[in-house]
């Protein structure tokens, strides 16, 4: 069984919440999570990149 990660405990809604709607305190907490070496942080970054690329429109 996998070890429990205390740094991920109670962060489910931090990952789901829209960063544009976060308070300053929430942004600071989420920034620390996003810059960590967690696999969850990497998966979130890939998801955000994919969402950005999906909405990309060429200006040519």
More confident of the two residues 2 and 30: 30
Residue 31 sits in which domain range?
24-54
More confident of the two residues 9 and 56: 9
> Taking the model in full, what pTM does it have?
0.68
Number of separate domains in the chain: 1
Evaluate whether residue 2 is within a structural domain.
Answer: no
pLDDT of residue 1: 40
Evaluate whether residue 18 is within a structural domain.
Answer: no
Residues 23 and 25: their CA atoms lie apart, in Å, by 5
Element (H, E) at 24: helix 24-34
Task: Note the pLDDT tens digit of each residue in 20-52.
Answer: 899 999 999 889 888 888 888 899 899 889 888
Give the model's confidence band at 4: pLDDT under 50 very low, under 70 low, under 90 confident, else very high: low
Evaluate whether residue 8 is within a structural domain.
Answer: no
Rounded (10°) CA dihedral 43, 48, 51, 56: -130
């Amino acid at each position: 069984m996998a070890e429990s990660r205390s740094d991920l405990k109670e962060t489910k809604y931090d990952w789901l919440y829209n960063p544009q709607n976060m308070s300053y305190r929430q942004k600071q907490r989420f920034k620390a999570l996003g810059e960590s070496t967690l696999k969850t942080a990497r998966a979130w970054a890939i998801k955000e990149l994919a969402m950005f690329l999906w909405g990309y429109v060429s200006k040519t």
